[in-house]
Copies of this chain bind each other. A is one copy, B any other.
Amino acid sequence: MSRFDPNFTDNVINSMGPRTSPRFRQLMTGLIRHVHDYARENELTVDEWMAGVQMLNWAGRMSDDKRNEGQLMCDVIGLESLVDEITFTLASEATDAPTATAILGPFFRADTPFRANGDSIVRTPPAAGDGQMAFMHGRVVDCQTKKPLVGATVEVWQACTNGLYEQQDPAQEEFNLRGKFRTDQDGRYSFYCLRPTPYPVPDDGPAGKLLQMMDRHPFRPAHIHIIATYDNYKPLTTQIFDSKDKYLTNDSVFAVKDSLVVDFLPRANDPQAGLELQYDVKLVPAPAE
């Protein structure tokens, strides 16, 4: 790389002052080095760099309370899933196998209401003929002792069969296909939901443009989002994926892990649902402070 000023990158890094926090200094040093190496290795042109800046500005302009396009751009290049893997690897190096994690995604809502076990999260039915009802149930347990965790919170959300989450779709009742559940005295939770269906990530912004330029499809395999929490245990954010889905091996945001693939089985004698999914969540104790 000696065609270019060999001191330039060090000069930029060394311009950081003494009051920079050690972790921020580390993160900026690595960022500056990688960004500069990237530009030199690829002889990035002014036009190419400016096209990238315009994509980032576009992402920011599209983002609001209901949409995080910057996050979605990271997702389609695998960064959120990678950061999730790093977090999970570090957390599990010290413990037995807890449930694997997966990315939060941009459609989480902090204000989802509690519902009773056995209730349905399907508040607005899908269009006639669309969707299969499923009964999802299981236990929340300590990943080491397997003891059930009583009063743990299980929060779930899923897209409707039209590929839209409720906040993207005015036709869906607020909090449709979302709910929080508290485990009973046996550590059990249960609810009715839809068998999830694949959907494309929003492709009308820069993330969609990026996918198109990379000649990639925008689809995510069918999945249900789960967050499980319990006092003195590490909160778990994950997704479970339908084993029958055609996009299982080429998720547009790279979130699938083998241990998160589940089978929907036929369910007999339940007028509310023809399918059943049994799924236990294993939480890892939080280290004492």
Of the A-B pairs whose beta carbons lie under 8 Å apart in the complex, a sample of 19, sorted by A's number, is A3-B93, A4-B82, A8-B78, A8-B81, A9-B78, A12-B77, A15-B254, A20-B214, A24-B213, A25-B214, A27-B44, A32-B78, A39-B86, A40-B86, A45-B86, A46-B83, A56-B70, A57-B68, A60-B70
Which one of A26, A34, A81 has the highest number of Cβ atoms from chain B below 10 Å of its Cβ? A34
* A38 close to B34 (CB less than 8 A): yes
* B215 close to A82 (CB less than 8 A): no
A3 to chain B, nearest CB (A): 6
Interface membership of A216, Cβ < 8 A: yes
Identity of the chain B residue whose Cβ is nearest the Cβ of A83 in the assembled complex: B49
**Do A215 and B16 contact each other (CB < 8 Å), given the known contacts A46-B84, A53-B68?**
yes
* B85 close to A18 (CB less than 8 A): no
- Give the docked Cα–Cα distance between A12 and B24 (Å): 27
- Give the docked Cα–Cα distance between A58 and B28 (Å): 18
Interface membership of A11, Cβ < 8 A: yes
* B86 close to A43 (CB less than 8 A): yes
A233 to chain B, nearest CB (A): 17
Residue numbers in B under 8 Å from A50 (CB-CB): 71
Residue numbers in B under 8 Å from A185 (CB-CB): none
Total interface residues on A, CB under 8 Å, equals 75
* A3 close to B53 (CB less than 8 A): no
* B60 close to A16 (CB less than 8 A): no
Chain A: residues with CB nearer than 8 A to chain B?
A: 3-5, 8-9, 11-12, 15-21, 24-28, 30-32, 34-46, 48-50, 53-54, 56-63, 68-71, 74, 77-87, 89-90, 93, 104, 210, 213-216, 250, 254
* B46 close to A79 (CB less than 8 A): no
* A215 close to B42 (CB less than 8 A): no
A131 to chain B, nearest CB (A): 29
- Give the docked Cα–Cα distance between A48 and B57 (Å): 20
From B5, B15, B89, give the contact of A216 (CB < 8 A): B15
* B214 close to A16 (CB less than 8 A): yes
**Do A44 and B78 contact each other (CB < 8 Å), given the known contacts A59-B57, A60-B58, A254-B8?**
no
